[in-house]
Structure 1
């Protein structure tokens, strides 16, 4: 399997420079499950896009501190690419910003969470059955968002929900699978991120996030879901 990782993370701080970029984090997540798969990273936030997305078996769209409502040229170009991939039914997985961007590009809506930040560890509820793999009733994932999908694109269905977030993940056809959360984040990274963002998100949110990190994410569980999605989408396999 050959995947294009469309990196949207705009953080160029010293904090970000000292740690693996999102492209590397998502590639690692995939290769933990399927070591032979090839992942090619495109920094779409810098205007770097694949010349031919159809040359890939699928794509992954990462998270970002940017908003899907930003008027940056690369966001508009990404929306065009999402619509192209949807029309061609190319398998796409989106996380956080990617989850929101797919929804907005395809006619859904994204708005501010009325309950504020979801930051740290979040226990998500599985909604219905996935056609490509078994999963537990609840999956723990790391989170850092204040915007979320408020209206699904036509043809999509909710497959997960989380704290204050009805659309925690959705599936559209056989070719789109998303999560509002961050399966690529490691235990160490989220702990560091909570401290790095403390002044930005505020004392109350940070204290709650620190307490939540007494729990750890189900990285392996969700990593399997991602690769099984691509296998099901491309090869029609049932699990």
Structure 2
């Protein structure tokens, strides 16, 4: 009888602990949603809790990986005259029996004037094995310093060379932001991403970087055949 009572007590403790953890998790989630809604209201932006359609909308890392892909905490608004989309993307991977982990990324995207071919510029060795898109390959420019600092992945060499002209490459080399986050032309958007849950305080700076890049894209790049 004593053994049964001891076992029952342990079970009750475990259940109570699990319930407490779940309660704290729900409380924290509600608090975070409230904070993001407040941020959106202050900025004149719009907040949506879930956007399942965005989970498969973009290409390249961190999209298309793992399972249980989700997009939540979606913020949309205007910054410097440009529409901006920001959200938290997550996916789950398994590391063995009964062992899984969820990876979060913050994504910020700005619509571009016309759909363009795939072009990604990231720090050299940043996530190389995580891209395996059909028709996408590495590109080398004549600027060896740029080649040694960044990795270029593109589906259209002509478009990439138009975008990454002398002025753009020198500017990216001089701007420290380009070493912190990658950029990607992905269909109708220019996108950047960073590891971790969505932090609204990052959004204006990431949007600034994307808009700065966009405003420096030379005119021939918009005329390239996709």
Point out the structure with max Rg over C-alpha.
Answer: 2
Higher relative strand content? 2
Q: TM-score with structure 1 length normalisation?
A: 0.27
